Amino acid sequence: MIGVLAPETENWVISEFFELFKTPWEFFRSDRTYDVILSVGDVSCDERSAKLIVHYASCRLRMDAEEGIEVTVHNTRDLISQDGSSLVIYDGHLSFRDSGKGTDVEPRVADRFSYRSERDGFRIERIGYDLFAEISHLLTIGQPEEFAQFPTVDLHIALLRDLIITSGCELLEIPPVPEGFGCIACLTHDIDHPAIKFHKWDFTALGFLYRATAGSVASLIRGRLKFRDLVKNWIAAAKLPLVYIGLAKDFWSGFEDRYSDVEDGIPSTYFVVPFGKNPGSKLDDPAPRRRATGYGAKDIKDALLKIKANGCEVAVHGIDAWWDSDLGRRELEEIRNVTGGKDLGVRMHWLFFDEESPKLLEEAGAAYDSTIGYRSTVGFRSGTTQVFKPRLTDRLLELPLHVMDTALFYPAYANLSPKNACSLLRELVNQVAALGGCVTVNWHDRSLASERLWGASYADLLEQLKSCGAWFATASESVAWFRKRRSVVFRTDGLDEDAGSMTGEACEKLPGLLLRVHNTGKNVEEAATHFVDIPFPGVRQGVSELRDHCT
């Protein structure tokens, strides 16, 4: 059991942190003894009441002087490294240098962000930043693109886990990994341009003509396009007038069939714009006119019903829901009326969002949101692979967006070749496979058609996800699995550690949960990389009974 000692102002982020690091904990009580005390800021406790004390603080503490440690304050955002691990720190941190006056501090090297002290049979780990200030920053403000590749929240969890395990303490957790799988893969598609017939010589159509003709030649020269794809694009450009007058098939229509073919039974989620020809608002000003789509949900009703019949999900690609809950209700209701859906999720068009948006979406009736991500790169904007609860919401959860096709291939963004995109995605998928959690992918409706023709890269990504044992789930299924995990409650009904128990929701339609036990019969060196996983039964279970499964 971890006892957390921190200012009450941080209660929200502490509670959310331990939904992500799903392990037994409680707010510190002076009448209890703990395996671990996690202290944040300039607070004190009876250090003899735990096997391990972890002090997080970005300010000098009395113990620093007592241990003979020189402290340097760093108030800027920084990428810090120690023992081969790297962390991005956003809210200021300290570096430590041994002055040579201490007696039991290790290791005695300069400019580290942590140090260790052994006292009378218990260990103290001193970390030079405020853990919960960092987590709050990541889950509310997020990371700039320069640090997109770091799953920083998950790295903070990994650091704390390693400190606990290597101290010799037993650790129980519910990892963010479905039973029988390596991770979760959520495939999504933003439906922006389901047919080119909705665009009569507008910005979208003219952009298509340029990219299909001159742009394709340039891509061929740079090695970004194959010759056969150049021919496909030129043929599509030549057909455009015939499409407009009804003498040729619309080469953007049929997106639902193209994805059904390549996904071959894998469920995915389609985010659909409720009302067409409306660019929406940027709060005080109208959004750019080109943000308006040429269609509304009613215009593609047959395709949406086919999507649902194929076992996929239809959700809301919102226009104004991010800033006005009344307009959000209208958008959700329109998709319900067209598709018959009930608990609908949202992703905002062009990823419009601000800190108040989760609360407004919840008021509108959205079941989840999947907007938080990058427009111009791929990675971990919120610093995590996990679904989380935003600060101002009670029930709505956020399914972070990690990969978007346009971010990979658009000249104004990463502008990657298919080969380089494949390498980048393989690295990201491997990160998720190592950490657990969910990788959320957005491949747009027309990305398999001319002039983009990004189908080969998408198929390669699917193979990468299959190879790491991913559970393929719709957005609502992914969120539901994390709700199931969040429903687990670790209880300690008395002072005896064996009085602990766990309860959680059972849902037969979703994969099960795992209980992961570290330091069960292993020495400290082995415990860092070895653990025992047992299926979590989904009902009240005593800790002593669970421990019996591991011996």
Terminal Cα distance for the chain, rounded? 20
What pLDDT score was predicted for residue 23?
96
Q: Which of 136, 112, 138, 110 is nearest to 125 (CA)?
A: 112
| Chain position carrying tokens 């394709």 | 216
- 193 three-class SS: coil
- How many Å apart are CA 68 and CA 419, to the nearest integer? 52
- How many Å apart are CA 502 and CA 488, to the nearest integer? 6
As given in the structure block, the two tokens for residue 450 are 């001319």
**Complete domains list, the chain, with CATH:** 2-173 (3.40.50), 183-195+252-481 (3.20.20.370), 196-251 (no CATH), 487-549 (no CATH)
What pLDDT score was predicted for residue 109?
44
Q: What is the 3-state secondary structure (H, E, C) of 337-389?
A: HHHCCCCCCEEEHHHCCCCCHHHHHHHHCCCEECCCCCCCCCCCCCCCCCCEC
What pLDDT score was predicted for residue 547?
53
Cβ 345 vs Cβ 367: under 8 Å: yes
CA 207 to chain centre: 32
- How many Å apart are CA 36 and CA 472, to the nearest integer? 36
Per-residue pLDDT of the chain in tens (551 residues, 90 and over written 9): 999 999 888 999 999 999 999 999 999 988 888 999 999 987 766 666 788 999 999 999 988 888 889 999 999 899 988 777 789 999 999 999 876 655 555 544 456 899 998 877 788 999 999 999 999 999 999 999 999 999 999 999 999 999 999 888 889 999 999 999 999 999 999 999 999 999 999 999 999 999 999 999 999 998 889 999 999 999 999 999 999 999 999 999 999 999 999 999 999 999 999 999 999 998 878 899 999 999 999 999 999 999 999 999 999 999 999 999 999 999 999 999 999 999 999 999 999 999 999 999 999 999 999 999 999 999 999 999 999 999 999 999 999 999 999 999 999 999 999 999 999 999 999 999 999 999 999 999 999 999 999 999 999 999 999 999 999 999 999 999 999 999 999 876 544 444 445 555 556 689 999 999 987 555 555 655 678 899 987 655 555 555 555 54
Give the burial string for 157-186 (b: 16+ CB within 10 Å, else e).
bbbbbebbbbbebbbbbbbbbbeebbbbbb
Tally the residues of the chain.
551
What pLDDT score was predicted for residue 541?
55
Stated as kind and residue range, the H or E segment containing 332 is helix 325-339
Which residue stretches of 199-279 are H helix?
A: 203-212, 214-221, 227-244, 255-263
Cβ 114 vs Cβ 128: under 8 Å: yes
What pLDDT score was predicted for residue 42?
76
What pLDDT score was predicted for residue 86?
86
What pLDDT score was predicted for residue 85?
78
Cβ 96 vs Cβ 115: under 8 Å: yes
- How many Å apart are CA 428 and CA 430, to the nearest integer? 5
What pLDDT score was predicted for residue 8?
87
